[in-house]
């Protein structure tokens, strides 16, 4: 087994394959669980981390915040052994260590809950949670009954009712995030890093997760909490460290710290509260009409309509099946009965290609897995939805494509070094802007947006909401799904509520109330 190699052993040499593990059972009095001292990391032309110092104590939640591109992801990669720093020192319980890979970190009970899912879709929930740690029966065969029982117990700790035998590929993004969290908890870590763990969770699930974190903290666990949801940071954390442009601009005690002051540290200027202001609009004709659509064992008798220039939200708890409804409208899943009408005309949308031709754009919550082609350039991703328009006699009109892409980069304030930069190299907020820009280029009448601000910082979030409001201002019909109920209430003209696959509530803007909407979650 590969484990952490203390600095002393590394300097004086060790036999090939020998390993030493820092013993967590031996507490070094006064030493933090984890220390990073003067960590520096550069990439070609970019200083990602500049002499970053950070520490974590036992029984503490230490938050790490900053705008997209501030250096948080690079610092987490250093902690997890995915990225080797150019200089600096890492200590675990006072002992210098070399983190040469995630297995090294995990062997010493340092686990990471990834923001972007790293699950095996063809394996079950239980198999993913305990991958590599499965209980064995006689003759070395896996004990599936014990495995499922262990998974049920762990899911029960965070109050989630999820079938451990289900294939992960069949789950919604929210449910997959729960599996990711459980997999990290299954290693029973001493240091646990949460990277945007609630980005896809609703308020109820967030409350359960924060409750679990408090229990882990009370048991002496050290938690590093990375989130753009500053309300959660202030609620769960003891200290917070702010990164900006690869530098630590401050570490503060949470007691007495206000959100406005925290945002000001992040962005380097005074923060003026307020989301993208809602604007009353004149609505046009009904652009999208869904009439009593049903899918066996998934959703039943769902009806809705969205007019031109209107933003309609679908709210609900994990498992309410609103995502399944959205994907059926986009032709990514079939329906058993019911009707979908586009601009008054009944349509049979048997694939996303047909939905796109009918004027529907879809912004998935999983932007990296479904919204972008990460190995392709920014320009190619922005032009992906209009290739037919840009082609002639089998040749691509590159000048026209680049002109369109440059205009979108300017309009959406996408921070890139050039159109040839790979989408994989951008921050989450800039990746999301490309997903939005792709459908702006397409120019359809209807846009379905799933969690458009998932995992993006406060500045990018404001810009994205302004862009979505702008789409409605231009006369597009917007169907919005987001786990952030307050953001939905800020943006929408109307809100539908779903529970267990059925519509349980319908609210006009004048009737918006978080309590009334939440009451329909369990109707």
SS3 483: coil
Sorting pLDDT into bands at 50, 70 and 90, what band is 132?
A: confident
Q: Please determine, looking at this structure, whether the domain spanning 285-521 carries the CATH number 3.30.70.1020.
A: no
Residue in 397, 384, 374, 481 with CA at minimum distance from that of residue 437:
384
Judged against a pLDDT cut of 90, whether residue 289 lies above it is answered with yes
Exposure string of 139-171, with b = 16+ CB inside 10 Å and e = fewer, is eeeeebeebbebbbebbeebebebbbeeebeeb
How would you class 303 by CB atoms within 10 Å of its CB: exposed for 0-12, middle for 13-18, buried for 19 or more? middle
Fold matches, 34-267 and 285-521 = yes
Mean pLDDT over 425-430 rounds to 85
Whether 514 contacts 312, CB under 8 Å: no
Mean pLDDT over 426-441 rounds to 90
- For 24-83, the pLDDT digits (tens) are 344 444 578 999 999 999 987 778 899 999 999 999 999 999 877 788 989 999 999 999
The angle, 0 to 180 degrees and rounded to 10, between the axes of the packed helices 173-186 and 203-218 is: 10
Name the residue ranges covered by the structural domains of the chain.
34-267, 285-521
How many whole angstroms separate alpha carbon 517 and alpha carbon 314? 11
Judged against a pLDDT cut of 60, whether residue 18 lies above it is answered with no
Contacts of 148 (CB under 8 A, 6+ apart): 124, 126, 164, 165
Whether 88 contacts 36, CB under 8 Å: yes
Q: How far is CA 144 from CA 46, 60, 134, 141, 159, in A?
A: 48, 36, 9, 9, 22
pTM to 2 decimal places: 0.64
Residue in 481, 415, 490 with CA at minimum distance from that of residue 454:
481
Tokens of 14: 């060790």
Tokens of 68: 């997209």
- For 149-198, the pLDDT digits (tens) are 999 998 887 777 889 999 999 987 678 878 988 898 888 888 999 988 88
- CATH class label, 34-267: alpha beta
Judged against a pLDDT cut of 70, whether residue 385 lies above it is answered with yes
CA 19 to chain centre: 36
HEC profile of 212-245:
HHHHHHHCCCEEEEECCCHHHHHHHCCEEEEEEC
Residue in 349, 353, 359 with CA at minimum distance from that of residue 287:
359
Tokens of 374: 């990460």
How many whole angstroms separate alpha carbon 111 and alpha carbon 186? 10
Residue in 511, 505, 439, 504 with CA at minimum distance from that of residue 478:
439
């Amino acid at each position: 087994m590969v484990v952490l190699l203390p600095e002393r052993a590394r300097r004086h040499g060790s036999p090939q394959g020998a390993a030493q593990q820092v013993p967590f059972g031996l507490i070094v009095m006064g030493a933090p669980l984890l220390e990073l001292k003067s960590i520096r990391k550069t990439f070609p032309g970019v200083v990602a981390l500049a002499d970053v110092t950070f520490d974590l104590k036992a029984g503490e939640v230490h938050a790490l915040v900053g705008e997209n591109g501030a250096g948080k992801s690079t610092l987490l990669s250093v902690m997890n052994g995915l990225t080797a720093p150019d200089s600096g020192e890492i200590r675990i319980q006072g002992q210098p260590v070399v983190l040469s890979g995630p297995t090294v970190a995990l062997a010493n009970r340092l686990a990471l809950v990834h923001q972007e899912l790293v699950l095996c879709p063809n394996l079950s929930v239980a198999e993913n949670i305990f991958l590599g740690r499965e209980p064995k029966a006689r003759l070395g065969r896996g004990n599936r009954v014990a495995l499922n029982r262990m998974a049920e117990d762990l899911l029960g700790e965070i109050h989630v009712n999820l079938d451990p035998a289900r294939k992960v590929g069949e789950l919604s993004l929210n449910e997959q995030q729960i599996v990711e969290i459980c997999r990290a908890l299954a290693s029973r870590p001493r240091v646990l890093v949460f990277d945007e763990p609630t980005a896809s969770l609703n308020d109820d699930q967030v409350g359960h997760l924060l409750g679990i974190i408090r229990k882990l903290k009370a048991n002496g666990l050290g938690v590093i909490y990375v989130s753009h949801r500053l309300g959660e940071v202030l609620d769960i954390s003891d200290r917070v460290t702010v990164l900006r442009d690869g530098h630590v601009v401050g570490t503060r005690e949470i007691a007495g710290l206000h959100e406005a002051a925290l945002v000001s540290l992040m962005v380097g200027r005074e923060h003026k509260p307020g989301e993208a202001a809602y604007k009353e609009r004149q609505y046009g004709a009904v652009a999208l009409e869904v009439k009593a659509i049903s899918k066996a064992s998934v959703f039943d008798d769902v009806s809705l309509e969205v007019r031109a220039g209107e933003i309609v939200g679908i709210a609900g708890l994990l498992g309410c099946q609103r995502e399944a409804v959205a994907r059926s409208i986009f032709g990514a899943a079939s329906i058993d009965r019911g009707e979908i009408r586009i601009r008054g005309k009944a349509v049979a949308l048997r694939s996303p290609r047909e939905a796109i031709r009918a004027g529907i754009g879809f912004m998935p919550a999983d932007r990296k897995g479904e919204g972008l082609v990460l190995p392709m350039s920014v320009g190619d991703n922005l032009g992906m939805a209009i290739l037919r328009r840009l082609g002639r006699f089998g040749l691509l009109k590159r000048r026209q494509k680049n002109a369109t892409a440059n205009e979108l980069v300017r309009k959406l304030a996408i921070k890139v070094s050039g159109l040839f930069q790979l989408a994989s190299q951008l921050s989450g907020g800039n990746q999301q802007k490309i997903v939005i820009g792709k459908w702006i280029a397409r120019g359809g009448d209807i846009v379905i947006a799933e969690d458009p601000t998932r995992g993006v910082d406060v500045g990018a979030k404001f810009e994205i909401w302004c862009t979505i409001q702008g789409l409605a201002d231009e006369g597009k019909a917007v169907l919005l799904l987001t786990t952030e109920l307050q953001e939905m209430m800020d943006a929408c003209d109307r809100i539908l509520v779903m529970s267990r696959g059925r519509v349980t509530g319908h609210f006009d803007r004048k009737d918006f109330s978080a309590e009334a909407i939440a009451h329909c979650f369990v109707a």
